[in-house]
Every structure is written in C-alpha cells, then in structure tokens.
Amino acid sequence: MKPLTFACAALAAAMAVSCGQPVKKSFDGPAYLDESLPVEERVEDALSRMTTEEKVALTHAQSKFSSAGVPRLGIPEVWCTDGPHGIRAEVLWDEWDQAGWTSDSCTAFPALTALAASWDPSLAGLYGTVIGEEARYRKKDVLLGPGVNIYRTPLNGRNFEYMGEDPFLAATMVVPYVQGVQRNNVAACVKHYALNNQETARFFTNVTVDDRTLYEIYLPAFKAAVDGGAWAIMGSYNLYKGQWNCHNQYLLNDILKGEWGFDGVVISDWGGVHDTDQAITNGLDMEFGSWTNGLTMGKTNAYDSYFLANPYLERIRSGQVGTTELDDKARRILRLIFRTSMNPEHKTGRFTSPEHYAAARKIGAEGIVLLKNDGGILPLRGAKKILVVGENAIKMMTVGGGSSSLKAQHEVSPLDGLREALPGVEVVYERGYVGDAGGEYNGVSTGQDLSEKRSAAQLIADAVKAAQGADYVIYIGGLNKSDYQDAEGNDRQQYGLPYGQDAVIEALAAAHSKLVVVNISGNAVAMPWVSRVPAIVQDWYLGSEAGHSLADVLTGAVNPSGKLPFTFPVALEDGPVKTPEQFPGLPGDKTWESSFGSVPILEETYSEGIYVGYRWFEAKQVAPLFPFGYGLSYTTFAYGDPKVSKTVTTDGSVTVSVPVTNTGAVAGAEVVQFYVADPESSVDRPVKELKGFDKVFLQPGETKTVSVQLTRESLSFFDAAKHAWVAEPGRFDVLVGASSADIRGSVSFELK
C-alpha cells in the first residue's frame, strides 16, 4: 500500500501547487520512490522489498522487447528498441510481425560507418543526443547500440553498423555517442561484446585469439564505453574459450565486471543464451529472445521457459543455487531502471523534428569521403545536363539489413537530392543495372516498384546512349542491404561489386570523360576500373537525408572532409584474413545441440593477431587501394613541423602539436592524425598505431595549431604474461599526417 500512499501524497502536492499553497517537502513513502535520494540507496531499498520470484522476473523477457517490472512496488517494465541508426518500428507483443502503428515512422540516421568516417567526436555526441531523444519520445529505456566490433574482414555483412578497423578511432567515437544517448534517460547498450566479427555461423563459432590481441584490438572500444559511463552491454552470439559470450566467465565476470568495474547490465543478444547454469554464474543479467526447451524462435508464451525464468526458480527452490547472483542481477537492473524511466530528470524526447533531420544531413555529409578527383572535376559546376546512372540512385536503403532496418518517415534518394540541389539543370536517369528489385523487410515495405524488363546489355546500351550530350555522368551503385551484402545474418560472398556493375562502369568510362562513381556501401569493394574513372566518392547508408547529404558534397555546398575508417585492399587476398581457419572457421570436434538439431561448432583462429587493417598492410609492405584515414578535399592543406613538449611528465604524457594551413581557395576541414611508433620495443609492434586525431576547420589562408596529448597508455602494449599494459623506456616517434600512408612530419621523444 505504500506506493499508493505515495501516489496520493504526490497528487496532494500537485493540488497544493495549483492552489498556490506551499508544498511540504517531507517524504514518507518508500525510499526507492524518493527521487532526491542517491540511486544506490533507492536500489537497495527496492531490492529489500522484493520477493525471489519478482527478482527472477526482472532477469528475463516478457515480450519480444520488454522485461517485467515489479507492479506491486510501482517499478516499471524495461523497454528496449533496436538501433543503432534509428528507432525500430513497433512489433507485436509475442511476434516479430509489425504492430501496425501509424506513429512509429522514425528519423533514419546515417550508418555508424559514416559517423566513424567523419572522425568528429562532436558529431558522435550530436548523433547520440538526437537518437536518444527519439528513443525517449517512444518511451524506450534501452537503445540496442552502438556497435563497436572491429572491422576484421571486408566480407563481414554487418560492418556497416560498426566504427571501422582501428580500436582508437572506435573508442574515441563511441564515448560521446553513449553519453549523448544517456542524457535522455535512455541507456546505450554497446554491442556485440566481443570478438563478433562475422555473420557466417554466428551462433556456433568459437574464436581463438591471444590475450594481447584481445586487449589491444578487440576490447578498447568496449572499455572506453564503460569508462565513459555506458549503462548496458550486449553479449555476442559467438563463443570464446568454449563458452557463449552472453554468459562467458572471462569476458563478463573477469574483465567487464571485474577489471573494468562495470556497474550496468549485461543484456543477451536475442537468442544468445544457451544454458541456465552458465547464465546464472557467468555474468549475464537480462535474457532476451530465447527459444528454449525445443520451442522455436517466435513461439508465443515461451517466456516462462527461458533459461533465467522457471529453470532458475526451480534451482533456487531446490537448493541447487543460492541467491547471491540473483541479487546482483536484480541490483543492476534496478539501477538501470532508476537511471532511465525512474530518473528524476523526466526527459520527454523529440521525434522526427526538423533538428533531427538537420543532424542526419550534417552527419551524412561530413562522413562522405572523396577518394579521387582528377582534374578537379568535382564539385559539379557549369552543367546544363547531368546523367545519373545506377539502381542505388533511387533504391531506398533504410529498409533491410537486419535489426537496423527502419520504418523511416521519409528518405530522400540521391537522384531526388541532386534534382533538388540543381533546379536549373536537366538531371536525367538511367537504371544501368538491376540489383535487388525487392523492398520489404519484417513487414515494412518501401512501396517502390523496381521491376525491370530490359536485359543487362540493353540497360548498359541505354545508359551509354544517354551519356551523349551530358556534361557529367554520375554513376551511383555499390552494395545494398540485401542478404549476402551489407546485412545481418549473412556475410558477403565476393569482394567485387555485385550485379555486373563493373561492366556498366567500364562502359560509361569509355563513353564519357567526366564520370563520377559514387559507391554506396558499408564495406570496402574492389575497383578494377579505378585508373579509368576520374572521380570516386565513397558514400554510405545515410538514412533519411541520404540524397541531401550526397548532393551537398557533389555540388560543393559542403566541402568533403570524411576519412576512411578502414582500409580498401586492391584484392581480398591482400588483407590479413585469407584462410578458412581465419574465416569463417572449420568444424571442430564439439557440437551444439540446438532446436535446429546437432550443429558442429566452428573453430576460428585470429592468427593474424594484432595485424588488422593498416597494421597488416604496413607490416607486409602491401599497397592498398586506399589507405586507412584517407580522404580528399576541395581545398589543400599544408602541415608545418610537429613539436613535442620539452618535458615528459611522470605519468608518461606529452603534448604534440603541429600547425596546419588551408592553402587552397575553399574553406574546409582537415583531420590531422597522430600515429605512434616504438622502434626500440622488446616485442613485435606495428609500424605505427593511431593514438590521436583532431578535426580542424580552416578558412582559405588560415593557420591553426592542432595539439593532442599522448599518455603512457598511448605508448603501451599489452604484456599477456604480466597481464598488464607496459610502456618501455626509450625513444618513441610521433608521425603526423593526413592518412596512415600520407605522413607529413615526425617528431621523437624519450620516455625515461
């Protein structure tokens, strides 16, 4: 009855305010409802009032996207939503089918590859803030994102959801995103922890990786998110050390909750739990999406059969397990609730506002990367007629790709964006190729009719003919979010462009001297025609404002400043992952007894170790197609001589600075990158590693000094034998440049 008493008291207080009477500030209700108290006091008070059954109910789902609260105590349910690029449309309580709402069409934001390509932490903060506002408006407590798994191979179908190949870049970008989301009383659930770098056999692949590689490459972004205050972490589907990562002793208890002191909740990926005993003891807090006891995915009323539901209660009642772990889980979940829906700030959020669309447009434009611009044919100027070719110029990309698929309120296509930006120019269109004529995912349809009767040869012939008399030809192709491309559940089957696009590009290159190729993808692709195309633009899945963002860059309304967050190899075999043992793994001697039958566990070895991305290409002296950190501008930048602070502090930190001047005629931004090399190390180390960057905007002729602080952590490697980070005394070189392959200067210092 106390919560009811409190509710009456609150109503009386509200009435007193309306009557102009002073409000009594004393509080005689349960402490957990007193919002003026510290969260930990509220948690402990609520925990002390709960039954074992109520605690267990907190730990597992009650619907597809929610878990139970404690109605008796007035503690609300927890509601999750898929991200990380927008708020997923509502589905039915028990099923994946659409709920049929008319008010759940969201703002679609750019994919996280685009955000990473901006190299701008302030934009990451903006992104988190606006998507957090949309989640709060829809009354969601947990946003399932962002994703920070490392780009290990360009075949990973889910790379478009992540932040690139470098742990420092991902770690730097994830923190402001998380903090922006959580300003809205919404928990960011950082995923997928950890070593989840493929979609092939994702439920039954056991990863073998050494501790140094784990700590140096695959954990830093997660640790940064935890240090930055993340309230939730999602476990991954795969196994590590023979245990599923949603209940993994080493990853969850030893590292996450032990070494890092994480005080939030560990949420399973949907269907990622496989064992009650391990779920109890190995660090999992909340179970979602399971199909247990032979039930299949999507079965209704299966929640009592979840691993952390009745099976957990039965073990407690029989004395097989105690309640120490249960209290820890419940405590963490209550902490989550008091940080979100029962947070005293009571944020209300905003949805599909003009400000959100403006943010999406800005983030998208700043993430676009200009890869080639021979003769300065971009930006577009003086054109009377432009031919646009390619299915991706018209195909909606917000629908599809897996759990990040969205029901967007609107999506501006590249073709429409160009036509709007160039009102006095004749912009004509040719299909060029047929990729995926479909446009439906999980009950959401684009409504587009992309059927086509012309043959591939006729499509090319028509495009070449239409190029006659055009001042520019803009080819807009790449990948899409269909299966076996950029999509959850399946990896890519080829590195080259699908649907015969190379033939279309070759024909257009032969037919017109001013060809601009725009590649829309979340992954690197082969470009055998690179020497015959004067201008190449790397575009991404940019969401609702995709066409506006691209048009802003192509027309010069925005000077491109994006830099690649991952390396483009010339050929797949040039990269570090090239054997079946490395990807996707080989069948081992263990099996998974699932509802699908007996499935062999694949054994996958990360034998490339720390040599991922540019680290590999530099160590092996293999030239990439385009290097990590690369991107051109419509202006030029000159770097002065870098300098290091004269003294090295006792904690090993130094400040490195370099003057940068805009030497061109156009205002623009440059991403200044700082790499550290340790030429005298006792262990094998990469040629250099990114340890700092800053994005600086300069007017023509303007000079600014860019500085970063390098700490002892910036100089360290992980010593697995000592299980510690080690910075050895001696010389360190700091290389400053415009990409990993374009070093403009260097400076050295001694660590005593």
Query: How far is Cα 118 from Cα 247, in angstroms, rounded to an integer?
Result: 35
Whether 75 and 18 share a structural domain: no
Q: Is the peptide bond before 729 cis (omega within 30 degrees of 0)?
A: no
pLDDT tens-digit map of 321-370? 999 999 999 999 999 999 999 999 989 999 999 999 999 999 999 999 99
Q: Which two tokens stand for residue 415?
A: 């073709």
Token digits of residue 86: 């927008």
Out of 104, 141, 166, 269, pick the active-site residue.
Answer: 269
**Scanning the structure block, which residue is given the tokens 């907190």?**
58
Query: Is 70 exceeded by the pLDDT of residue 296?
Result: no
- Answer yes or no: are the C-beta atoms of 530 and 373 closer than 8 Å: no
HEC string of 677-696 equals: ECCCCCCCCCCCEEEEEEEE
Q: How far apart are CA 569 and CA 348, in angstroms?
A: 46
Q: Give the contacts of 722 (CB within 8 A, at least 6 positions apart).
A: none
Residues 215, 77 share a domain: yes
Q: Is the pLDDT of residue 649 over 90?
A: no
CA distance linking residue 642 with residue 495, whole number of Å: 39
Give the pLDDT score at 442: 87
Nearest by Cα to 248 from 220, 219, 272: 272
Task: Look at residue 18 in the predicted model and tell me its pLDDT.
Answer: 37
Among 339, 358, 383, the domain-final residue is 339
Residue 370: name the closest of 244, 539, 527 by CA: 539
Give kind and range of the element (H or E) at residue 713.
helix 712-715
The set of residues, in sequence order, having a beta carbon less than 8 Å from that of 715 and lying 6+ positions away, is: 652, 676, 678, 727, 732, 751
Q: Is the dihedral of CA 647, 653, 654, 655 positive or negative?
A: negative
Sheet holding 730-739, edge to edge: 689-698, 668-677, 730-739, 742-751
CA atoms of 515 and 506, how far apart (whole Å): 10
Q: pLDDT band for position 205 (50/70/90)?
A: very high
Rounded distance between C-alpha atoms, residue 273 and residue 253, angstroms: 16
Per-residue pLDDT at 746: 97
Over residues 597-620, mean pLDDT: 96
Mean pLDDT, range 104-121, rounded to an integer: 98
**C-beta of residue 739 within 8 angstroms of C-beta of residue 630:** yes
Torsional sign, CA 206, 211, 216, 221: positive
Domain count, the chain: 3
Burial of 36 (C-beta count, 10 Å sphere; 0-12/13-18/19+)? exposed
For residue 262, is it left (φ>0), alpha (ψ between -120 and 50) or beta?
Answer: beta
Task: Tell me the C-alpha distance between 695 and 136, whole Å.
Answer: 30
Please check whether residue 357 is in contact with residue 524, taking contact to mean a CB–CB distance below 8 angstroms: no
Residue 128 lies in a domain: yes
Q: What is the pLDDT of residue 298?
A: 56
**Omega within 30 of 0 (cis) for the link into 121:** no
pLDDT of 23 reads 44
* pLDDT tens-digit map of 37-68: 999 999 999 999 999 999 999 999 999 999 99
Q: Are 702 and 635 in contact (CB under 8 A)?
A: no
Given a cut of 50, whether residue 14 has pLDDT beyond it is no
Split at pLDDT 50, 70, 90, the class of 16 is: very low
Which one, of 155, 147, 283, lies nearest residue 221 by Cα? 147
Residue 359 within a domain: no
pLDDT of residue 641: 97
Whether the CB-CB separation of 295 and 305 falls below 8 Å is answered with yes
* Domain extent for 110: 35-339
Average pLDDT over residues 101-110: 96
pLDDT band with cut points at 50, 70 and 90 for residue 1: very low
Q: Which of 684, 699, 691 is nearest to 629 (CA)?
A: 691
Is the confidence at residue 594, as pLDDT, over 90? Answer: no
Residue type, 173: M
Say yes or no to pLDDT of 97 above 90: no
Using CA atoms of 325, 145, 445, 596 in order, give the dihedral in degrees to the nearest 10. -40
In the numeric block, which tokens belong to residue 403? 């759990």
Other residues' Cβ atoms within 10 Å of the Cβ of residue 496: 13
**Is 17 a residue whose pLDDT tops 60?**
no
Q: Is residue 80 within 8 Å of 142, Cβ to Cβ?
A: yes
Task: Please determine, for residue 252, whether its predicted confidence score (pLDDT) is greater than 60.
Answer: yes
Gap between the Cα atoms of 518 and 539, Å rounded: 6
> What is the model's pLDDT at position 592?
84
Which residue(s) pair with 520 in the sheet? 478, 539
CATH code (residue 116):
3.20.20.300
CA nearest 368: which of 606, 557, 611? 557
In what helix (H) or strand (E) does residue 121 lie, and over which residues does it extend? helix 121-137
Residue 122 forms part of a structural domain: yes
Cβ proximity of 657 and 621 under 8 Å: no
pLDDT tens for residues 137-171?
999 999 999 999 999 999 999 999 999 999 999 99
Specify whether the backbone of 307 is left (phi greater than 0), alpha (psi in -120 to 50) or beta.
alpha
Quick check: is 555 in a domain?
A: no
Residue written as tokens 């509710």?
A: 7
Q: How far apart (Å, rounded) are the C-alpha atoms in residues 132 and 138?
A: 10
pLDDT at 300 over 70: no
Q: How far apart are CA 548 and CA 537, in angstroms?
A: 15
Give the span between the Cα atoms of 740 and 404, in whole angstroms.
31
Quote the CA–CA distance of 551 and 494 in Å, as a whole number: 29
Structure tokens at 507: 């024909």
- Tell me whether residue 550 is in a domain: no
pLDDT for the residue 21:
44
Last residue of a domain, one of 294, 310, 339: 339
The verdict on residue 352 lying in a domain is no
Residue 742 known to be catalytic: no
Strand-pairing partners, residue 600, are 591
Residue 83 phi, psi (nearest 5): -125, -150
Using an 8 Å Cβ cutoff, are 191 and 269 in contact? yes
Nearest to 474 by CA among 527, 414, 528: 414
Q: Which two tokens stand for residue 280?
A: 């109890």
Strands 265-267 and 232-235, bridge-based pairing: parallel
Does one domain contain both 279 and 163?
yes
Q: Determine how many CB atoms are found less than 10 A away from the CB of residue 91.
A: 20
**176 shares a domain with 30:** no
Task: Read off the pLDDT of each residue in 388-415 and give the average, rounded to a whole number.
Answer: 96
**Checking DSSP bridges between strand 472-478 and strand 515-520, what pairing results, if any?**
parallel
Round the average pLDDT of the chain to a whole number and report it. Answer: 94
pLDDT at 292: 66
∠ CA 637-639-642, rounded to 5°: 155
Q: How far apart are CA 239 and CA 205, in angstroms?
A: 6
Strand order in the sheet with 426-430: 369-373, 535-539, 515-520, 472-478, 385-389, 426-430
- Specify the amino acid at residue 101: W
Considering only CA atoms, give the Rg of the chain: 27
Same domain, 189 and 246: yes
Q: Do 272 and 236 fall into the same domain?
A: yes
Q: What percent of the chain has pLDDT over 90?
A: 90
663 within a domain of the structure (yes/no) = yes
User: Dihedral (C-alpha) 414, 416, 421, 422: value to the nearest 10 degrees?
Assistant: 110
Which amino acid is present at 586?
A: L
In the listed set 277, 309, 339, which residue is the last one of a domain according to the structure? 339
Q: Are residues 675 and 715 in the same domain?
A: yes
CATH number at residue 696: 2.60.40.10
Q: Give the pLDDT score at 308.
A: 97
Q: Which residues contact 630 (CB under 8 A, 6 or more apart)?
A: 369, 371, 563, 564, 738, 739, 740, 741, 742
Whether 100 shows a pLDDT value over 70: the answer reads yes
Residues 78 and 48 in one domain: yes
Question: What average pLDDT does the segment 284-299 reach?
Answer: 75
Asked if the model's pLDDT at residue 132 lies above 70, the reply is: yes
Could you tell me how many residues make up the chain?
Answer: 752
Q: What is the pLDDT of residues 466-516, one digit of tens each?
A: 999 999 999 999 999 999 999 999 999 999 999 999 999 999 999 999 999
Does residue 589 sit within a domain?
A: no
Local confidence band at 659 (pLDDT 50, 70, 90 cut-offs) = very high
| Neighbour tally for 498: CB within 10 Å | 20
Residues 42 and 174 in one domain: yes
CA dist., res. 26 & res. 24, Å (int):
6
535 and 517 Cβ atoms separated by less than 8 Å: yes
Question: Are residue 83 and residue 180 in the same domain, yes or no?
Answer: yes
If asked whether residues 288 and 331 sit together in one domain, one would say: yes
Helix ranges restricted to H, 197-272: 211-213, 220-227
- Phi and psi based region of residue 643 (left: phi greater than 0; alpha: psi -120 to 50; beta: remaining): beta
Question: Is pLDDT at 428 greater than 60 in this prediction?
Answer: yes
Residues 107-137 as b/e (b if ≥16 CB within 10 A, e otherwise) read: bbbbbbbbbbbbbbbebbbbbbbbbbbbbbb
Q: Do 106 and 71 have their domain in common?
A: yes
Containing 415, the helix (H) or strand (E) segment is: helix 414-421
